A and B are shown apart, each in its own frame.
Chain A
Amino acid sequence: AQSVTQLGSHVSVSEGALVLLRCNYSSSVPPYLFWYVQYPNQGLQLLLKYTSAATLVKGINGFEAEFKKSETSFHLTKPSAHMSDAAEYFCAVSGYNKLIFGAGTRLAVHP
């Protein structure tokens, strides 16, 4: 069975600070991993995805994530937070024709 754990349901950072959102996964097969973002009153938007190519994946809006098999992790980072990054972020692993999501992390960015 596959599962995803996102550590921290709420994360708060200052504008300009490093953003680090944690995701650990469990998978019996080589995983495909995703980060999605949901801005207020909007749908789910794909930030980035890992599909067994490069372990460091770059996404939109300056975000990136690194796949670490030994740690079963796929943490999302951004060097400098912007106010517009305030949103809810979801990590997901692809199962057989379905996505298994983590519970989500709400990111707050304060001046």
Chain B
Amino acid sequence: EAGVTQFPSHSVIEKGQTVTLRCDPISGHDNLYWYRRVMGKEIKFLLHFVKESKQDESGMPNNRFLAERTGGTYSTLKVQPAELEDSGVYFCASSQLRGHTEAFFGQGTRLTVV
């Protein structure tokens, strides 16, 4: 069974450009989470989808970030325009049940904004 897949694995973009990160959850997992780790700091929650609906987006930093999950399958996280402080590692996780007792994380996307 495939795990949670994220791509790209790395992305280097210039300040002001747009980047779209993608997460493919484990098949059948209705719950999908995005997290971010800014360099040297703790991993922080961004948002939570149940199927295609946003359940909690309290962790989204600002309106330059837009997450979607059309059809309740894969999710995208778009940053537009990117700023230097957006650099970090973006993790996606999925679970069949709510909560994280059975959540699986992807390998993350390392975003560098220069």
- Chain A residues proximal to chain B, CB less than 8 Å: 4, 32, 34, 36, 42-46, 49, 51, 90, 92, 94, 96-104
B101 contacts across to A, CB distance below 8 A: 32, 49, 51, 94
Residue in A90, A96, A98, A99 with the greatest tally of chain B CB atoms within 10 Å: A98
Please judge, given known A-B contacts A97-B56, A104-B42, whether A43 and B105 are in contact too, CB under 8 Å.
yes
Contacts between chains A and B (CB distance < 8 A), count = 60
Q: Does B48 lie within 8 Å of A97, measured CB to CB?
A: yes
Q: Does A97 lie within 8 Å of B106, measured CB to CB?
A: no
Q: Does B48 lie within 8 Å of A98, measured CB to CB?
A: yes
Q: Which of A44, A46, A103, A104 contacts B91 (CB 8 A)?
A: A44
Q: Does B42 lie within 8 Å of A101, measured CB to CB?
A: yes
- Chain B residues proximal to chain A, CB less than 8 Å: 4, 6, 31, 33, 35, 41-45, 48, 55-56, 59, 91, 93, 98-101, 103-108
Q: Does B56 lie within 8 Å of A98, measured CB to CB?
A: yes
Q: List 22 A-B contacts (CB under 8 A).
A: A4-B42, A32-B99, A32-B100, A43-B4, A44-B43, A44-B91, A44-B105, A44-B108, A46-B103, A94-B100, A96-B56, A97-B55, A97-B98, A97-B99, A98-B45, A98-B59, A99-B33, A99-B35, A100-B45, A101-B35, A101-B43, A104-B42
Q: Does A101 lie within 8 Å of B44, measured CB to CB?
A: yes
Q: A98-B59, A99-B103, A102-B42 are in contact. List 17 more A-B contacts (CB 8 A).
A: A4-B42, A32-B100, A43-B105, A43-B108, A44-B93, A44-B108, A45-B105, A46-B103, A49-B101, A51-B101, A92-B43, A97-B48, A97-B99, A98-B45, A99-B35, A99-B45, A104-B43
Find the A residue at minimum CB distance from B48.
A97
A92 CA / B107 CA spacing, docked (Å): 18
